[in-house]
Amino acid sequence: MGTVVMYGSVSVDGFIADVKDQPGPLFDWLSSGDVPLDDSCELTVSQTSYDYIRPYWDQIGVTIVGRHVFDMTDGWDGTPPAGVEHVVVVTHRPEPEGWDPEAPFHFVDGVEAAVATAQELAGDRLVEVAAGDVGGQVLAAGLVDEVRMDVVPVVFGSGKRYFGSVDAQHLLADPDVAVVGNRVLHLRYRVRRRSA
């Protein structure tokens, strides 16, 4: 089964969007270098960011998002982002009217079902969970193996929290990766499992 990774760009004070649900400068690092991150050449990062992010992206088999992200992106027009093969959408609502049933998107109710579906689809590849409410729910359910953050030097003060509405303590191991890029600090933490 693939490793489950909670991932997102985040402000230094822990937000993935401002109070108006906008990312502000959180993605500026994706245009702060001269190394193309993908074939579109629209994303250009520093060499250190490329060396860290590109291999990670290449390992992702499935991304899990909430219905809110799906709706905000218009479902990426039925094409999963960043070369990902499948997207699992956590939702209590049916797929949108007129949605292409052949699109590699899977609509499921609940985070446990989402992770099970994603792991089946991903095989031994990574399962990425978008940070925010759904990511926080997957973490609270004990289903996240590692947390990856692209920490951007901005303070929002308030907004949408990286870990959503998690209201319990969850211990992470010491960071096993800390990479400095242009306008970003890439961090990776393993999630400590509670002993039974």
Give pLDDT tens digits for 117-139: 999 999 999 999 999 999 999 99
Q: Residue 1: is its pLDDT beyond 80?
A: no
Length of the chain counted residue by residue: 196
Q: Residue 196: is its pLDDT beyond 70?
A: no
25-36 tens-digit pLDDT: 999 999 999 999
Q: Residue 193: is its pLDDT beyond 80?
A: no
CB atoms within 10 A of CB 97: 5
pLDDT at 195: 55
The three-class DSSP label of residue 57 is: helix
Q: Which domains does the chain have, with CATH numbers?
A: 4-190 (3.40.430.10)
For 122-137, the DSSP string reads HTTSEEEEETTHHHHH
Mean of pLDDT over the chain: 94
Alpha helices in the chain (DSSP H): 47-59, 67-72, 111-122, 133-140
39-80 tens-digit pLDDT: 888 999 999 999 999 999 999 999 999 999 999 999 999 999
State the Cα torsion 48-49-52-55 to the nearest 10°: -120
138-187 tens-digit pLDDT: 999 999 999 999 999 999 999 999 999 988 899 999 999 999 999 999 99
pTM of structure: 0.94
